Amino acid sequence: MDFLKNLLASVMGFFIACTIILFSIILIAFFVGQEEEIEVKTNSVLKLSLEAVVKDYAPKATDPISEILGQNEDFIGLNAIATAIENAKYDANIKGISLETKAVSAGLTQVKSIREALTSFKESGKFIFAHGDFYGQKEYYLSSVADSVFVSPLGEVEFKGLAFETLFFKDFQDKYGMKMEVIRHGKYKSAVEPYLENKMSDSNRLQLKELIDSIWDDVLTGVSEEREVTKETLNHIADNLLGRSAELAKENHLVDGVIYKDAYDAKITNLLGGKFSTISLTDYIKTGKGAKFNSSPNKIAVIYAQGEIIYGRGDENYVGQEMIIEALKKARNKESIKAVVLRVNSPGGSALASDLIWRELELTKAEKPLIVSMGDLAASGGYYIACNADKIVAEPSTITGSIGVYGIVPNISEFSENIGIHSDRVATNKGGSYSAFQPMNAAYYKVTKEGVDKVYHSFVSKVAKGRNMTFEEAHELAQGRVWTGTQALQNGLVDELGGLERAMEIAATAAGLSDYRTVNYPSYEKDFKETLKGIPFIKSEASLLKEWVGTANFQLFKKLQDLKTAMGMQARLPFVYELK
């Protein structure tokens, strides 16, 4: 009897769920039909807030369900932003741009690319104003490109320079008996240093200091040129926190005025000679202004490798060799595609997946010009897949290099012994497998170290071949050390400084093209099940966790998850980097 009751309840539940889903789809279809068309009105101002996560490549789902659920609003593509600003430059209805940033979710090189697009926009003679209740360093770096910068009376401009901070766990491991067993190659591979020491090694301190000095100099250069304040003065401002109040920020020429938002709007009204309309960047892109239209039969494929490198399929957040290899084969086999640009924005990851992608790039380069464009990160595995290109283009603040390999495995043998948990085992052979409940033996360490050394030798050999160096020259630049794009240009790891547009120009020249259009790969297609994850009662654990703990804390959790699920030897950036 209970069985029949449970069966009946299950059947009823199934039909109720189907009814709810069907009803939701009907409602979605209704709302899509009722949605008003977005119009760019005359005398409009384009508003840029950039609160959505900026990705180098952010393809949108085209189904109405995703649109209604707002899944397309979680992120925005850098290419769409730059194109929209370029289109606004020639749009008679757009009279200017208002930068109203609060929390820019973009990397430093992405911000620089947007600044360059805004600089080009100003050539039209149209204005760019900026207003903020307060400015973080990244938000100010972007807003400093404006003709005039304003801040609210109780606001501030955070301008304090850059710093890296690392936590060390050696004493914690020794005290509690929980530790990471480390096998590495390269004296600069500092990803594992926190498990071995209680402070930075001299070599790690040196590379990090040189790194942030180079990045900071690039920020200073951009602000100095736009605000007409010398770098020396800007460093003085940073040393003494002279943007810590609105009045100090104005006194030190970081901003042009201290006013509330209503007074800011009044300034734009006066400038335009009357009432104006605003249109958000996302709405402007929805009108079709985020895409370039070109009917040229010649194409350049732009293949985006963004995120950590994993062994497997991959998606818009992770670089998987399967998806990248598919994209490269399509680009190689289509006659209309004359050249390939690989856009790398990755801290690295799986050495095996990186090597498989490298091989497919070798096959592609043999048939068509291959140019690499580096974003914020092209380090470790990210450099592995870039090193064999015909030309490599990086931004000055790109973090690259980190040519090294390491492996870490957890060991809690001492901890388990201390709390009375003991491990014993039998095996058919001497090799056996590693156990976190027993100390790492010399034989296992030796075999693993051989694997690390082999991958390192393969990595350096590929760099030497791709960059026309001897093995010794490549090794001198390797050992896990990281470089900025500016430093990499000086030591031969990249060929030129510039952005994605410059890489495409080089690709076009190499292919002998005077006219071309771009096609983006990979194609990220979501099935119906993935789309339904956006509905509140079908959300994934990750979505719920992000809502509960906040975006910043979720990113920390995600880093731990990535470390836990990493398979095989890792060629990965030795730290988490973000400009704040």
Point out the residues that are catalytic: 189, 380
CA distances from 444 to 107, 184, 438 (A): 40, 14, 12
- Per residue in 254-278, is it b (16+ CB within 10 Å) or e — as a string? bbbebbeeeebbebbeeeeeeebee
526 with 66: CB under 8 angstroms?
yes
**If you ran DSSP here, which 8-state letter would residue 459 be given?**
H
β-strand pairing of 570-572 with 348-350 = antiparallel
Element (H, E) at 97: strand 94-99
SS3 content of the chain, % helix, strand, coil (to 5): 45, 20, 35
534 with 544: CB under 8 angstroms?
no
| Residue type at position 403 | I
375 with 359: CB under 8 angstroms?
no
Helix 541-549 to helix 551-565 angle, to the nearest 10 degrees? 140
Q: In what order do the strands lie in the sheet with 308-310?
A: 179-185, 405-411, 570-572, 348-350, 308-310, 318-320
Which alpha helices (DSSP H) does 405-535 contain, by range? 413-418, 442-466, 471-477, 485-491, 500-511, 528-532
In 10 A of CB 96, how many CB atoms?
23
Which alpha helices (DSSP H) does 467-527 contain, by range? 471-477, 485-491, 500-511
